[in-house]
Amino acid sequence: MTGNSAGNSTGNSTGNQAADRNAGRELIELMAGFWKTQAVYYAAESGLIDAVHEAGRASSTALAVRIGADADALGRLLLFLESLDVVRGDDQEGYQLTAVGELLRSGSPGSMRDHVRIYGSHFYRAWGALDHSLRTGGAAFSQVYGSDLFSYLNQHPETSLTYERAMVAGTPFFSEVGSVFDFSGAELVVDVAGGHGALLSEILRSHPGPRAVLFDAPHVIDETEGRPIATEHAHRCDRVPGDFFEGVPEGGDVYLLSRILHCFDDESCHRILTNCRRAMRPGGRLVVLERVLTRGDGSCLTQGYNMHMLVVLGGGRERDESQYRALLDKAGFTLESVSPLPLETNLLVATPK
């Protein structure tokens, strides 16, 4: 028994040491997350990604000349980006983009460059003031930039354009919405706070019957000039400026709210939902696209966005299904179905009570 006890003790000790080493490695990986954020952000913002694409294959020295960087420093960055699967290759054979790197290229199909640009700059700085959100429950973004996000965007047109493009870049699931919800029977689809009309454009392309209204803040509607919703779909879609807290366009039989409710507290959501309920035709339907908060699903993306809503918007939050059901019920809706979409997004359908 003494021998067995000693053996077990030794085995447990060895196992504990290995677990401690693994835990230490995991903790370092967690704390070094900002290395990755800023490396990827610089690669997109500096033009490095576009330079790699244009060169085909190029050494760090050649790429440094192209973008005006120090050759040794850029070589270190490319080595790091290679470990992150953003580029492949080395100085011998030259660097080229991976599939991940292609998403950072300006002008590439499905480019997420603007998504990276705003997350690596404005949102990154806001997260640096996380303590403000945790002490006060308010938005760290407002603390850093002196105004709430939407007021800031209204005052900074270039950032507003980047933000709207970033929101579209984070929504490759738009193309699947029409296969989950059938818009063919709708006469008028109203997209409330629909941004530059990317989702509405997808719906109109795949469903030739309905007409549509794109409704958003005046400066956002101004930004839609020249975009598909104002060119390709001009004969089927009216672009209407306004404030969804005051009211929304009337007469629709389908109202869309895509990633809007998670930006606001319950009281504000109630005002938006009540306005939609009041405006829609009898028998109309409300389609909501949001992440639905769950626990124990092996992913931290939705939980992370729940924190992001606090940091950037203060009153914003992700909600679980029961919370959405309660919000909708209070505004006069019944939640009929919840269907999964990519990137942990869900399509919720509600009908008037």
Just list the catalytic residues: 262
Q: Are 252 and 227 contacting, i.e. CB atoms less than 8 angstroms apart?
A: no
For residues 304 and 170, give the distance between their C-alpha atoms in angstroms, rounded to a whole number: 15
Q: Which two tokens stand for residue 323?
A: 């919370």
Strand-pair partners of 188? 211
Q: What share of the chain is helix, strand, coil (3-state, %, to 5)?
A: 55, 15, 30
DSSP readout, 149-176? HHHHHHH-HHHHHHHHHHHHHT-TTHHH
Locate the DSSP E strands across the chain.
87-90, 94-97, 188-192, 211-216, 237-241, 254-258, 285-291, 333-341, 345-352
C-alpha distances in Å from residue 143, one per residue of 195, 262, 307, 317: 25, 20, 16, 18
Q: What is the dihedral of CA 118, 121, 127, 129, to 10 degrees?
A: -140
Residue 60 host element (H or E): helix 60-67
The torsion region of residue 347 among left (phi > 0), alpha (psi -120 to 50) and beta comes to: beta
For residues 151 and 43, give the distance between their C-alpha atoms in angstroms, rounded to a whole number: 29
3-state SS assignment for residue 212? strand
Q: Which two tokens stand for residue 2?
A: 């003494």
Buried b or exposed e, range 220-237, using 16+ CB within 10 angstroms: bbebbeebbbbeebeeeb
How far is it between the farthest Cα atoms of the chain?
87
Amino acid letter for position 131:
D
